[in-house]
Structure 1
Amino acid sequence: MRWKKLGLIYGPDGKLPWAKSHAMVPTPIRLNEEVIRVFVTFCDENGTGRPGFVDISAKDPLKVLRISEQPLLDLGKAGTFDENGLLACSVVDLGNGEMYMYYVGFELGTKIRYRLLTGLAISRDGGNSFSRHSSIPILERSASELYFRCGPYCVKEEGKFRLWYVAGSEWTVLDCKPMPVYDIRYAESQDGIYWPDHGEVQLAITGEDEHGFGRPCVIPKLDGGYRMFYSVRCRSAKAYRLGYAESIDGHNWQRKDSELNLDITPGSFDSDAIMYATPLAVDGKLYVFYNGNDFGRDGFAIAMQETD
C-alpha cells in the first residue's frame, strides 16, 4: 500500500474550556453525500477527555464545516467508571437518527494507575447529542479481563453486533513507569448492549518488544474478507506505530504490518508517534484518519491511499 499524507484537518484553538487541546481517536461517519462527521475526544486544561465532533466536507476532507460547541457526553458522576474522562472509540449508525457510541471510561486507581472499561451512549438525533445507556460499563471487568476492556470498535453485520476490542489483566514497567499489557479480542452481541464477560484473542502481543495494542478498526475488503487497522505499542519506540492485518472471516487474522507503509514523519506533528488509524471509503477513495504525537495533541490528520 502507498499513502499520501494530506496533513492535519483540525486541532483545538483553546477557546473552548472543555476542548483546550487534542482531538483523539478520529472516528468518521458519513452523514450524507456532503458531510463526514468525525467524532473525536478533546481535552480540557487538566487533560480530561470529553467527546465532540468535527464535520468536514466529503468532497474536500480538509475543509472543516462545523465543530461541536458542547461535549456530546460529559464526565460521569463521582465514583463511576468514567468520572475521570471519556474516550469515544466507535460509532455505529443504526439508521433513523439512532447511533450507538462505544467509549472508554477512565477510572483512577490507588495500587494500579487506572482501569479502562467500555461504556455505551445512545443518540436519537443523528449524532448531535448522546445520553448514557447506563452509569456502569457494558464491558465490565471480569476474571480474565481484569483491568482493561477498552478500545472498542463495533460493526453491525447480518443482524448481530461484532466487537473488536483491547483487553488484559497485567502491567509491565517501562522506564520506571507501569504500562498496561493487552491484546486484541473479539466478542458478539445480539443487541449491542449485553456482551459476554470475555472475548476471543485475535491478535496477541509478540516478542519482547510489544506490550499492547491501540483501538482496532475493521472494514470489509473489496474482494471479500476484512482489513484491520490498529496501533502497536513497543518498548523500543516508546510510542505507538500503526499495524495492519487481514482476515477471511473476521476471526482469524494474518498480521501484515510491513505492508501498511504509513509511518512517522520526521519534523512533523507525527514525528514520534502515529496511531488510531480509522479508514473510510469516500467516492472510490480510501482515506485514513489518524493521530500523531502525544495521542493527538495537535489534532487529527488524514492520508489518502494512492492507486496505480
Structure 2
Amino acid sequence: MHWEKLGIVYAPDERAPWAVSHAMVPTPFLLNDNTIRVFVTLCDANFVGRPVYVDVDARDPKKILGVGPGPLMDIGVPSAFDDNGVLTCSVTRLDDGRIFMYYAGFELGVKVRYKLLTGLAVSSDNGERFERVQQTPVLERSDSEMTFRGGPFVFREDGVFKLWYVAGSGWEMIDGKPMPVYVLKYAESSDGVQWPKEGRTVLDLTGSDEHGFGRPWITKSANGKYQLYYSIRRRSLRAYRLGYAESDDGIHWLRKDDEMGLDVTPGSFDSDAIMYSAVINVHGQTYCFYNGNEFGRDGFAVARLTSAQISA
C-alpha cells in the first residue's frame, strides 16, 4: 500500500481544562454522506482523557466542520475501572439507530502502573451524548486477562457482534521501566453487552522484540477478506509502528506488516512513533486516521491511500 500523508487534522487547543493536551486514538465514523465524525480523546493537565468528537468533511477530511462543545461523557466515579480516563476505540450503529461506543477505561494501579478494561456507552441522539450501559466493564478481568482487556474493536456481521481486543496480565522491565505485555484476542456476543470471560488468541507476539499490540481496526475488502490494521510495540524502539494482516475468517491472520506502507517521517510530528491506525472508505477514497509521537501529543492526522497492491 502507498499512502499520501495529508497532515494533522486537529491539534489540542486548550479550549477547556479537560482539553489541555493530546488528541488520542482517532476513531472515524461515517455520520452521514457529508460528515465523518472522528471520536477522539483529549487530556487534561494530569493526562486524564475524556472523549469528544471532531466532525470533518467526508470528501476533504482535512477540513474541520465542527468540534463537540464538551466531553461526550466524563470519567468514572472514584474506584471505577475508568476513573482515570476514557479512550474511545470503536463505534458502531445498531439497526434501531442507537450508537454503541466501546472504550478502554484507564485505572491507575499501585503494584502495577495501570489497568485497561473495556466499557460500553450508548448514544440515542446520533452521537451527541453517551451514557454508560453499566459502571463496571463489559470486559471484566479474568484469570488469563487480569490487567488488560482493552483496545476494543467491534464489527457487526450477520447478527453477531465480533470483537478484537488486546489482552494480557504481564509486565516486564524495559530500560528500567515496567512495560505491559499483551496479545490480540477475539470474542463474539449476540447483544454486544454480554461477552465471554476470556477470548481466543488470534495474533501472538513474534520474536523477542515485540511486547504488545495497539488498538486493532478491522475492515473487509471487496473480495471478502478481513483486513487488520494495528500497532506494534517493540522493545528496541520503545514506540509503536503500524502493522497490517489479512484473514479469510477474522481468526487466522497472515501478517503483512511490510506492506502497510505508512511509517514515521523524520522531523515531523510522527518522527519517533506512529500508531492507532483507523481506516475508513468513503466516496471512492480510503483514509487512515492515526497518531504520532507520544500517543497523539500534537493531535491526530490523516493519510489518503493512493495505491493498494497487496501480495497474494
TM range (shorter): over 0.9
Question: Would you say the 8 A contact 1:97–1:127 is kept in 2?
Answer: no
Listed one character per residue, the Cα deviations across residues 34-91 of structure 1 (whole Å, up to 9, x for unaligned) are 1110000000111100001000001211100110121001011111111111111001
Q: Given the two structures, how large is their TM-score scaled by the length of structure 1? A: 0.98
Q: Does 1:242 align with 2:275?
A: no
Moved >2 Å (runs of 4+):
none
Q: Given the two structures, how large is their TM-score scaled by the length of structure 2? A: 0.97
Listed one character per residue, the Cα deviations across residues 252-293 of structure 1 (whole Å, up to 9, x for unaligned) are 100000011110000000000000000000111111000000
Aligned match of 2:64: 64
Aligned match of 2:124: 124
d(CA) in 2 for partners of 1:33 and 1:82?
Answer: 33
d(CA) in 1 for partners of 2:220 and 2:31?
Answer: 19
d(CA) in 2 for partners of 1:204 and 1:46?
Answer: 33
Aligned match of 2:54: 54
Aligned match of 1:297: 297
d(CA) in 2 for partners of 1:223 and 1:284?
Answer: 16
Deviation at 1:307, TM superposition (A): 2.9
Q: Give the match's secondary structure for 1:294.
A: helix
Q: Give the match's secondary structure for 2:32.
A: coil
Question: Would you say the 8 A contact 1:16–1:69 is kept in 2?
Answer: no
Q: Give the match's secondary structure for 2:295.
A: helix
Deviation at 1:114, TM superposition (A): 1.2
Letter in 1 for 2:12: P
Q: Does 1:191 align with 2:191?
A: yes
Aligned match of 2:82: 82
Deviation at 1:228, TM superposition (A): 0.2
Q: Does 1:5 align with 2:8?
A: no
Aligned match of 1:141: 141
Letter in 2 for 1:303: A
Q: CA RMSD for the aligned pairs?
A: 0.9
Q: Give the match's secondary structure for 1:169.
A: strand
Question: Would you say the 8 A contact 1:153–1:165 is kept in 2?
Answer: yes
Higher mean C-alpha deviation, range 183-192 or range 16-25: 16-25
Q: Give the match's secondary structure for 1:31.
A: strand
Letter in 2 for 1:282: V
Letter in 1 for 2:254: Q
- For structure 1, the residue ranges without an aligned partner over 5 or more in a row are none
Listed one character per residue, the Cα deviations across residues 140-163 of structure 1 (whole Å, up to 9, x for unaligned) are 000011110000000111001000
Q: Does 1:256 align with 2:253?
A: no
d(CA) in 1 for partners of 2:173 and 2:41?
Answer: 27
Listed one character per residue, the Cα deviations across residues 214-234 of structure 1 (whole Å, up to 9, x for unaligned) are 010010011111100000000
d(CA) in 2 for partners of 1:107 and 1:12?
Answer: 23
Q: Give the match's secondary structure for 1:90.
A: strand
d(CA) in 2 for partners of 1:273 and 1:155?
Answer: 27
Letter in 1 for 2:128: N
d(CA) in 1 for partners of 2:16 and 2:80?
Answer: 25
d(CA) in 2 for partners of 1:272 and 1:13?
Answer: 22
Aligned match of 1:30: 30
Deviation at 1:95, TM superposition (A): 4.3
Q: Percent of aligned positions with the same letter in both sequences?
A: 58
Letter in 1 for 2:273: A
Q: Give the match's secondary structure for 2:298.
A: coil
d(CA) in 1 for partners of 2:12 and 2:65?
Answer: 14
d(CA) in 2 for partners of 1:58 and 1:29?
Answer: 10
- For structure 2, the residue ranges without an aligned partner over 5 or more in a row are none
Question: What is the 5 A alignment of 1:9-20?
Answer: 9-20=9-20
Number of corresponding residues: 308
Question: What is the 5 A alignment of 1:166-181?
Answer: 166-181=166-181
